[in-house]
Amino acid sequence: MVPPEGHETEPPEGHETEPLNLISEHEQKEEVVDNCQTVFKAWVEATGKHPSRTRLDDKRRRIIQKALETYPVEDVLDAVVGWKYEPFYKGENDRGRPFNDLGLLLRDSEHIERFRDMGRFGATALPSGNGSNNKHDPNVKFDEDGNKMRFASGTGWMRVP
């Protein structure tokens, strides 16, 4: 079969040259920029930083974009506010200061997922099916053998004697 040549390759008059079901590269870039700004604004509000004095610089933009490459915007939004549900990250720690830097909250998958889940389930309860038998303390659950487990910041789930 011989490929068409000349006018045979041009679309008929009145027809679009690009498929209608594809998002253009320009639209994709605009969406990423909008999502970066949305995540940044949510983080600024959650941390109580001054909106006009806190900047979305290149470093912060890269951190957010990297997270958005792997996770939907809803997960990233929950992650940047989830720190508020853990006393240690709120500032109830030996240093007396909060740990809510954007680079920490979105550092890697482990951090994104931890803070996302805190943001979604807060201090009330963890999602069903995770083995938790204590709805008042999201940092307590029971493993398959019935052993009590407690979540410790920085080390994850640990068995309680």
> How many angstroms separate the Cα of 20 from the Cα of each of 8, 30, 31?
21, 18, 18
Q: Indicate yes or no: pTM above 0.75.
A: no
Task: Look at residue 15 and tell me if it is in a domain.
Answer: no
Same domain, 55 and 130: no
Per-residue pLDDT tens over the stretch 56-75 = 999 999 999 999 999 999 99
Do residues 129 and 118 share a domain? no
Q: Which domain holds residue 48?
A: 25-122
The 10s digit of each residue's pLDDT in 31-42 is 556 899 999 999
Residues 85, 68: one domain? Answer: yes
Please report whether residue 117 resides in a domain. yes
**Do 115 and 144 have their domain in common?**
no
Does some domain include residue 155? Answer: yes
Question: How many structural domains are present in the chain?
Answer: 2
Q: Are residues 104 and 32 in the same domain?
A: yes
Contact predicate 42/34, CB 8 Å: no
Q: How many CB atoms within 10 Å of residue 113?
A: 15
Residue 138 has pLDDT above 80, yes or no: no
